[in-house]
Structure 1
Amino acid sequence: MLAAWGRAVHRLRWWLVAISLLPLTLWLGVPSGERLDESVVPPDMEAVRAVRLLDAELAPRSPSFGLILSSATLRADDPRFVDAVQRALAPLRRDPRVARIRTPWDAPVPDARGISTDARSVVVTVEVHGRAPAFASMVVPSAPPGLYTALRAQVRSDTLDILTFGPMALNHDFTEMVKSDLQRAEVVVLPLVLVFLVVVFGSVVAATLPLAVGLLGVAAGMAATGLLARVMPVSAYAANVVSMIGLGVAIDYSLFVVSRYREELLTHAPPQALARTLATAGRTVIFSGMAVGIGLLGMILLRMGSVSTIGIASTVVVGFAVLYSLTLLPALLAILGPRVNALSLLRRPARVGERSIWHRLATAAMARPWHVLVPVVLILIVLGLPFRHIHLGTPDITTLSDDAESRRGEELLGREFPQLSPTSIVVVVSYPDATGLTPARVDELYTLSRWLARQPGVTRVESVVDLDPRITLDQYKMMATAPREMLPPPMREAFEQMTGPRLSLLVVQTALPVDGQGARDLVKTIRRAHPPVAAQMLVTGRTAYDLDFAALVWRVAPGAVAFVLVATFVALFLLLGSVLLPLKAVIMNCLSVTASYGALVWIFQDGHFKDWLGFTPAPIEPVIPLIMFCVLFGLSMDYEVLLLSRTHEEFERTRDNDRAVVASLAATGRLITGAALIMATVFFGFGVARTVMIKEMGIGMGIAIVMDATIIRALLVPATMRLLGDWNWWAPRSLRRLWERLRAPVNAL
Structure 2
Amino acid sequence: MFRALARAIHHHRGLVFVASAVFLALAVAALVYGGRLSTGVIEGTEAEQAQQLAAATTVGSSDTTLAVVFHSDTLRSASPEFQEALKATLEATAKLPTVEGVLSPLGAPKAVAAQLQAGTGHDTLALVRLKGDIREATRAFPEVRAVLSTGPLQATVTGRIAFIDALNRLLEKDLLRAELISFPLALLVLLRVFRTWVASLLPLVVGGLAVLSGVAGVFVLSHVTDMAQYTLNVVSLIGMGVAIDYSLFIVSRFRSELERGLDTQAALERTLDTAGRAVAFSGLAVAVGLAGLLFYRGSYLSAMGIGGALVVAFAVLFALTVLPALLSWLGLRVNRGRVPFPRLFEPKEGLWKGVATWVMRHPVLVLVPTLAILVAVGLPFLRLQLAATDITALPAETEARRGAESLRQLFPRQAANGVLVVVQFPSGSAFTAERMGALYDKSRQLAGIPGVLGVDSIVNLKESMDREAYQELADFPEDMLPKEFGQARDAYLHGSVTVMRVLTEASASSQAARDIVETIRKDRAVGDGRLLVAGQTASDVDAGHFVRENTPRAIGFVMGLMCVVLFVLLGSVVLPLKAMLMNLLSIAGSFGALVWIFQEGHLSGLLGFEPGPIEPSLPVLLFCALFGLSMDYEVLLLSRMREEWERTRDNTQAVAEGLERTGGLITSAAAIMVAVFAAFSLAHVVVVKAMGVGMAIAVALDATLVRILLVPAMMRLFGSFNWWAPKALARWLSWAQHAHGPSDGPPR
The separation in 2 between residues aligned to 1:645 and 1:688, in whole angstroms, is: 35
For 1:65, give the aligned amino acid. L
Give deviations 1:480-503, integer Å, cap 9, x for gaps: 345545423332232233233333
Correspondence 1:29-428 to 2 at 5 A = 29-30=29-30, 31=32, 34-43=35-44, 45-55=45-55, 64-72=65-73, 75-77=76-78, 82=83, 92=93, 101-107=102-108, 111-127=113-129, 131-133=131-133, 140=134, 142-143=136-137, 145=139, 147-156=140-149, 161-266=154-259, 267-346=261-340, 355-428=349-422
Residue identity in the other structure for 1:245? I
Q: Which residue of 2 aligns with 1:136?
A: none
Task: Write the distance in 1 (CA, Å) between the matches of 2:191 and 2:601.
Answer: 36
301-310 or 732-741, larger mean C-alpha shift: 732-741
Deviation, structure 1 residue 746: 6.3
What code does the residue aligned with 1:685 have?
Answer: A
Counterparts of 1:38 and 1:627, CA distance in 2? 16
Separation of aligned partners in 1, 2:97 and 2:648: 81
Q: How does 1:480-629 map to 2 (within 5 A)?
A: 480-529=474-523, 533-629=527-623
AA partner of residue 670 (structure 2): A
- Aligned partners of 1:2, 1:80: CA distance in 2, in Å? 78
Please give the per-residue CA displacement for 1:434-472, whole angstroms capped at 9, x wherever unaligned.
354443333322221221122222222222222323334
8 Å CA contact retained: 1:429, 1:536: yes
Tell me if 1:7 matches 2:7. Answer: yes
SS of equivalent to 1:21: helix
Alignment-mate amino acid for residue 309 of structure 1: A
Amino acid at match of 1:76: S
**Aligned-partner Cα distance in 2 for 1:609–1:242:** 27
User: 1:574 touches 1:742 (CA, 8 Å); kept in 2?
Assistant: no
Closer/same/farther in 2, CA of residues 189 and 127 from structure 1, 3 Å limit: same
How far apart are 1:270 and its partner, in Å?
0.5
**Distance in 2 between the 1:359 and 1:352 partners?**
16
The count of corresponding residues between Structure 1 and Structure 2 is 739
CA 512–355 in structure 1, closer or farther in 2 if over 3 Å, else same: closer
The equivalent of 2:458 in structure 1 is: 464
1:511-543 per-residue CA deviation (whole Å, 9 max, x = no partner) reads: 232222222112111111466643322122211
State how far apart, in whole Å, the 2-side matches of 1:710 and 1:402 are: 37
Once the two structures are TM-superposed, the CA of residue 282 in structure 1 deviates from its matched residue by 1.0
Structure 1: stretches of 5+ with no match in the other structure: 134-139
Q: Distance in 2 between matches of 1:21 and 1:344?
A: 29
Counterparts in 2 of 1:680 and 1:69: CA distance versus 1, 3 Å: same
Give, in whole Å, the separation in 2 of the partners of 1:151 and 1:502.
Answer: 32
| Change in 2 beyond 3 A, CA 1:660/1:108 | closer
Gap change, CA 1:188 and 1:270, over 3 Å in 2: same
Aligned counterparts of 1:664 and 1:296: Cα–Cα separation in 2: 28
Give the SS at the match of 1:616: coil
Helix, strand or coil at the partner of 1:608: coil
Decide whether the 8 Å contact of 2:454 with 2:502 is kept in 1.
yes
Which residue in the other structure is 2:746 paired with? none
State the Cα distance separating 1:148 from its structure 2 match: 2.7
**SS of residue matched to 2:696:** helix
TM-score (norm 2): 0.93
Deviations 1:29-75 (A, max 9, x none): 124652211132231x2211212233478899695423223345665
| Distance in 1 of aligned mates of 2:34 and 2:60 | 26
Q: Secondary structure at the match of 1:538?
A: strand
Report the CA distance between 1:20 and its aligned residue.
Answer: 1.2
Aligned counterparts of 1:169 and 1:143: Cα–Cα separation in 2: 10
- Separation in 2, partners of 1:263, 1:593: 33
Aligned-residue CA RMSD (Å): 2.7
Shift of 1:214: 0.7
- Residues 548 and 99 of structure 1: is their aligned pair in 2 closer, same or farther, counting only changes over 3 Å? closer
Output the CA distance in 1 between the equivalents of 2:143 and 2:463: 44
Partner Cα separation in structure 2 for residue 87 and residue 505 of structure 1: 32
Contact preservation (8 Å) 1:246, 1:314: yes
* Higher mean displacement: 232-241 or 523-532: 523-532
For the 8 Å contact 1:57–1:501, the answer to whether it is kept is no
Deviation, structure 1 residue 377: 0.6
Match of 2:124, as an amino acid?
V
User: How many angstroms apart in 2 are the aligned matches of 1:181 and 1:78?
Assistant: 43
Give the secondary structure class of the aligned counterpart of 2:697: helix
CA distance in 1, matches of 2:376, 2:630: 20
Q: Is the 8 A contact 2:430 2:436 kept in 1?
A: no
Whether contact under 8 Å (1:432, 1:535) holds in the other structure is yes
Partner Cα separation in structure 2 for residue 182 and residue 2 of structure 1: 35
Paired letter, 1:203: T
Q: Cα distance, 1:725 vs. partner?
A: 0.5
Structure 2 CA distance for aligned equivalents of residues 613 and 126 of structure 1: 36
Q: Label 1:490 to 1:449 Cα distance change in 2 as closer, same or farther (>3 A).
A: same
Contact 2:192 2:341 in 1 (8 A): no
Q: In 2, Cα distance between the equivalents of 1:40 and 1:748?
A: 49
How far is 1:668 from its partner? Answer: 0.6
Please state how far the C-alpha of 1:143 moved relative to its aligned partner: 2.9
How many angstroms apart in 2 are the aligned matches of 1:60 and 1:459?
19
Identify which range, 715-724 or 91-100, moves more after superposition: 91-100
Q: Distance in 2 between matches of 1:106 and 1:58?
A: 17
Contact in 2 for aligned 1:84/1:157 (Cα 8 Å)? no
Q: 1-side partners of 2:581 and 2:138: how far apart?
A: 49
AA of the residue aligned to 1:183 = L
Of all paired residues, the percent bearing the same amino acid is 42
Residue 122 to residue 141, structure 1, CA distance change in 2 (3 Å)? farther
> Paired residue for 2:645?
651
Provide structure 2 residue ranges, at least 5 long, that are not aligned to the other structure: 744-748
Report if the CA contact (8 A) 1:295-1:633 is conserved: yes
> Would the alpha carbon gap of residues 236 and 354 (structure 1) be closer, same or farther in structure 2, given more than 3 Å must change?
closer
SS of corresponding position for 1:504: strand
| Alignment correspondent of 1:631 | 625
The one-letter amino acid of 2:183's match is: L
Shift of 1:346: 3.6
SS of 2:658's equivalent? Answer: helix
Which region of structure 1 is more displaced relative to structure 2, 501-510 or 719-728? 501-510
SS state at 2:136 partner: coil
Which residue is equivalent to 1:137? none
Structure 1 561/108 Cα, relative in aligned 2: closer, same or farther at 3 Å?
Answer: closer
**Is the contact made by 1:60 and 1:132 (CA closer than 8 Å) also made in structure 2?**
no
User: 1:695–1:33: structure 2 CA closer, same or farther, 3 Å change rule?
Assistant: farther
Contact 1:47 1:545 in 2 (8 A): yes
- Cα separation, 2, equivalents of 1:424 and 1:576: 56
The one-letter amino acid of 1:198's match is L
Distance 1:527 1:344, change over 3 A: same
Q: Following the alignment from structure 1 to structure 2, what is the Cα–Cα distance between the partners of residues 224 and 672? A: 30
